[in-house]
């Protein structure tokens, strides 16, 4: 009888342990997969931790530092794992430097950043795509190529995310030479793309395109 009671007691304890472990695992999975974060606190933590220095204040990325991480950040589990054990030059942020709740808030902030308009919905870019900027005249090859470069490297900051200044009618106050000089030696936070990413011809072409906006 005593043996039977002992076996039953051990079994009951085992069930309780399994239930507790399962509840903890489910809670951790829920917190990791779909965190509930505070967007305003996340933006503050993003700035305080210096994330914006490499990834931009809206997570748009920096060609010379960190990749774009917004809009639509990766699932939180992967996001947290990368923060804790990153690859490349990014420093790790452990629980003491960036607690779980702050990481959840940052993820919520990145998740809240809306997508910019598609290039096809932007009138100036659509006009270049069709080879017609309001007239029947064909687009010069250097302008068309400059548009391609602009769409690849410039549109996100100057059109979609509105981080850089608007460039509409830039020719009214800047000459082509000034535009070229600014692209080659930009003021922060604009990244320096010349000569590592853009060649002399690339700069000339994209500057010529900007002068048409």
Q: What is the pLDDT of residues 154-188, one digit of tens each?
A: 877 777 666 778 788 888 888 999 999 999 998 88
Percent of the chain with pLDDT over 70: 72
Q: Cβ-count burial of 30 within 10 angstroms (0-12 exposed, 13-18 middle, 19+ buried)?
A: exposed
Q: Coil, helix or strand for 176?
A: helix
Q: Coil, helix or strand for 202?
A: helix
Q: Cβ-count burial of 93 within 10 angstroms (0-12 exposed, 13-18 middle, 19+ buried)?
A: buried
Q: What is the pLDDT of residues 4-25, one digit of tens each?
A: 334 334 344 343 334 333 433 3
pLDDT value of position 162: 63
CA dihedral 20→25→27→28, nearest 10 degrees, is: 140
Pairwise CA distance, residues 59 & 107, whole Å: 11
Neighbouring CB atoms inside 10 A of 65's CB total 13
Q: What is the pLDDT of residues 102-161, one digit of tens each?
A: 999 999 999 999 887 766 666 666 665 555 545 545 678 888 898 888 888 887 777 766
pTM of the complete model: 0.47
CB neighbours of 190 closer than 8 A, spacing ≥ 6?
157, 164
Whole-number average pLDDT of the chain? 77
């Amino acid at each position: 009888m005593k043996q039977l009671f002992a076996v039953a007691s051990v079994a009951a304890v085992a069930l309780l342990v399994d239930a507790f472990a399962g509840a903890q695992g489910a809670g951790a999975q829920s917190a990791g997969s779909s965190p509930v974060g505070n967007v305003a606190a996340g933006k503050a933590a993003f700035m305080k931790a210096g994330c914006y220095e490499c990834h931009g204040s809206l997570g748009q990325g920096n060609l010379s530092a960190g990749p774009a991480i917004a809009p639509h950040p990766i699932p939180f589990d992967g996001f947290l794992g990368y923060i804790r054990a990153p690859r490349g030059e990014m420093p790790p942020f452990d629980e003491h430097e960036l607690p779980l709740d702050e990481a959840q808030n940052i993820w919520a902030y990145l998740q809240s950043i809306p997508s910019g308009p598609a290039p096809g919905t932007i009138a100036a870019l659509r006009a270049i795509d069709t080879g017609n900027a309001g007239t029947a005249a064909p687009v010069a090859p250097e302008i068309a190529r400059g548009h391609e470069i602009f769409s690849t490297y410039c549109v996100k900051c100057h059109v979609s995310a509105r981080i850089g200044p608007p460039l509409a009618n830039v020719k009214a106050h800047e000459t082509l030479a000034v535009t070229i000089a600014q692209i080659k030696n930009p003021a922060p936070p604009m990244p320096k793309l010349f000569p590592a990413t853009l060649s002399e011809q690339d700069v000339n072409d994209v500057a010529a395109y900007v002068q048409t906006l």
